[in-house]
A and B are shown apart, each in its own frame.
Chain A
Amino acid sequence: MELILDEKNGIVTITVEEERLDAHNSGELKTRMTSLFEDEKSNIIVNLKAVRFVDSSGLGALVSGFKNASARNGNLKLCGLQPQVKSMFELTRLHRVFEIFTDSEEAFSSF
């Protein structure tokens, strides 16, 4: 799975460079986020601009990251959701759980 990590002012942006975030690759995202939490980095932006497709495993990995970040007094925010990906968040009502921004600059400014 191709993930690009960029850290600025203690906020880590993970850009998912995959068309799909699903049961095949979501475990890798979860593992990468776990490493960040172990390094005491708990303010994270996940940029999903390249992701066209997400399933329940992909959503579950993001929920896991959100809960871990929150438990460490941090936050995990999302940006760059394509319309069909956004529809999956709405279907599962997870759009009420996450703070969702148009792009990474907007998400970064919200911290």
Chain B
Amino acid sequence: MRERIDIDIKVPNQTRYLSLIGKIGEDVARTIKRFDGDREKLAYNVNVVLTEAMANAILHANRDTLDPEVHVRISVLNRVLTIEVFDQGQGFDIDALPAHNPDSCHESGRGIYIMRSLMDRISYKKSKNGYVLVMVKSLSS
């Protein structure tokens, strides 16, 4: 039977919810059927990318928004994991960001690099009420 998971969550725009959403993401990764890779590593990585994307939305994108919330969607279909984090901000061109130099000793600027490293592809595009960061990872070996 084909596996389809769809989880839709909305939380207030506060970093106290990072842990909750990260844990939900970990549980999804642990529950997925027919995954031959390192399941604990996948769970941890899902927690990381969810935390990074949500922190971007909460601390940057939604900063000047009245009564903001963060909307997260986690889905699995056809052995592809898709994570979407919706914000209500003004957006930015993710491809125009300078490439992170992993040998740099800057305090910030690692979030996008981490998300790109742990997922197969990421994009940031216009959505209904703001922007959405979409992260995709194949679950096939």
Q: Which A residues form the contact surface with B (CB < 8 A)?
A: 20, 22-24, 53, 55-57, 59-61, 63-64, 66-67, 84, 87-88, 91-93, 96-97
Stretch touching chain A among B85-93, B101-109, B133-141: B101-109
CA of A97 to CA of B23, assembled, Å:
30
Q: Chain B: how many interface residues by the 8 Å CB criterion?
A: 27
Given A53-B47, A67-B105, check contact A20 B19 (CB 8 Å): yes
Can you list 21 A-B pairs, Cβ within 8 angstroms, ordered by A? A20-B19, A22-B15, A22-B51, A23-B15, A23-B58, A23-B59, A53-B51, A55-B51, A55-B111, A55-B114, A56-B55, A59-B110, A60-B110, A61-B107, A63-B105, A63-B107, A84-B41, A88-B48, A91-B114, A91-B117, A92-B113
Measured between C-beta atoms, what is the minimum distance from B72 to chain A in Å? 15
Known: A63-B105, A93-B103. 10 other contacts (CB 8 A): A20-B18, A22-B18, A23-B55, A23-B59, A24-B18, A55-B111, A56-B108, A60-B107, A61-B107, A91-B114
Please determine whether A23 and B18 come into contact, CB atoms closer than 8 angstroms: yes
Tell me what chain A mostly uses at the interface: helix, strand, loop, or mixed: helix
CA of A104 to CA of B120, assembled, Å:
37
Query: Per-position contact with A for B38-76: 1 when CB-CB < 8 Å, else 0?
Result: 000100100110011001001100000000000000000
Tell me what chain B mostly uses at the interface: helix, strand, loop, or mixed: helix
Given A23-B59, A92-B102, A92-B113, check contact A64 B107 (CB 8 Å): yes
Query: Per-position contact with A for B96-128: 1 when CB-CB < 8 Å, else 0?
Result: 000000110111111101100110000000000
